[in-house]
């Protein structure tokens, strides 16, 4: 297992991508995750290639992600296109940066209380994921759906992955997020362990 940092936890420093890489190297980490395209100045291949080369020179691996891929979620933004377009774009970004996983999510606990039922949000997430199946499979990249901010129980995310297709969809497990649902992290892990391809760990206080 390699230790890294999700730069979301460092965002208040307002560094550029190279600054996050320098910091990760300075504290002895091995992986840097950019969880959202807004952490990059550009998604052009030339710029991404410079980020990749810089990381290579520092001996760091890169992982990338995006926010919600559910078009009906309260967390979804169409600023960068449809859910499918954003998934496709970020799969390409992951490929350029050498990341074999690309993280996304459904939404948050708010989606359990919307007029649109949770089952519809789940169905829309699955539909978006399946629309990029061939691209993900061709690139050899797993899409890692996070248990995020109380959106899904472990059993619900497990069912989502199994219906979408475990050949190209896995899980980014966050050990702090089950508490949003009143679910033990151990219960969440029991459900999701076979599909985990990425993990976030943090302290959580009740």
Three-class SS string for the chain? CCCEEEHHHHHHHCCCHHHHHHHHHHCCCCEEEECCHHHCCCCCHHHHHHHHHHHHHHCCEEEEEEEECCCCCCCCCCCCCCHHHHHHHHHHHHHHHCCCEEEEECCCHHHHCCCCCHHHHHHHHHHHHHHCHHHHHHHCCEEEEECCCCCCCHHHHHHHHHHHCCCCEEEEEECCHHHHHCCCHHHHHHHHHHHEEEEECCCCCC
What per-residue confidence (pLDDT) applies to 100?
98
CATH code: domain 4-200 is 3.20.20.150
Q: What is the pTM of this model?
A: 0.96
The ranges assigned to domains in the chain are: 4-200
Tens of pLDDT, residues 154-204: 999 999 999 999 999 999 999 999 988 889 999 999 999 999 999 998 777
What per-residue confidence (pLDDT) applies to 203?
74
Tens of pLDDT, residues 102-134: 999 999 999 999 999 999 999 999 999 999 999
């Amino acid at each position: 297992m390699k230790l890294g940092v999700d730069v979301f936890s460092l965002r208040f420093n307002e560094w550029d991508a190279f600054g996050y890489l320098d910091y990760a190297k300075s504290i002895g980490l091995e992986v840097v995750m950019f969880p959202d395209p807004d952490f990059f100045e550009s998604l052009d291949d030339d710029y991404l290639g410079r980020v990749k080369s810089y990381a290579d020179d520092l001996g760091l691996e890169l992982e990338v992600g995006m926010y919600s891929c559910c078009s009906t979620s309260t967390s979804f933004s169409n600023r960068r296109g449809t859910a499918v377009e954003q998934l496709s774009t970020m799969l390409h970004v992951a490929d350029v940066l050498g990341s074999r996983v690309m993280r996304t999510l459904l939404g948050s606990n708010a989606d359990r209380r919307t007029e649109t039922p949770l089952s519809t949000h789940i169905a829309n997430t699955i539909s978006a994921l399946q629309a990029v199946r061939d691209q993900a499979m061709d690139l050899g990249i797993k899409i890692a759906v996070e248990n995020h901010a109380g959106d899904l129980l472990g059993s619900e995310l497990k069912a989502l992955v199994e219906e979408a297709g475990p050949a190209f969809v896995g899980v980014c497990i966050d050990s702090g997020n089950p508490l949003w649902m009143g679910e033990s992290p151990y219960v969440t892990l029991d459900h999701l362990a076979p599909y985990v391809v990425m993990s976030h760990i943090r302290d959580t206080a009740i």
